[in-house]
Structure 1
Amino acid sequence: MKEITVKIPDKKVDFFMELIDQLGITISREVEIPEEQKIIVRDRIKKTNKNPERLIDWSKVHNKFKFD
């Protein structure tokens, strides 16, 4: 089975979903997380468990980020 990711214009979503339904195509809502990313997160968790002081409270740093 092939897996395809598509971007649908907002105006065409209803039509596209009806077409998918009529064709009997399965829609997957699962998000796959690459193993490389899982390894990075696990490593960060280990480092944090060993040294919790390395964490910075969000309330102290959130204003340093620029959100558009």
Structure 2
Amino acid sequence: MKLQYISDSQGVTTGVYIPITEWNALKTKYAEIEQEETDNIPQWHKDVVLDRLASFKKNPEQAIDFDTAMNDIEKGL
């Protein structure tokens, strides 16, 4: 498996990158792995995401792109 480790600015490992082909192979071998991804998400988190998605579908023109959002956040710092 060709994993890549992700580190923060202090060199502390904070994550692991798994190539998609290897991830798909793991999902095939361990069918329950996808279920585990959502088992630990609290229901209230899911509800917030669903509410935001419904809001977007009602008013898509109010959405802004990532760069605009980041610029707005940086202006507020």
Could you tell me the TM-score, scaled by structure 2's length?
Answer: 0.41
Compare relative contact order (CA 8 Å, sep 6+) and give the higher one, 1 or 2: 2
Higher strand share: 2
The TM-score, its normalising length taken from structure 1, stands at: 0.46
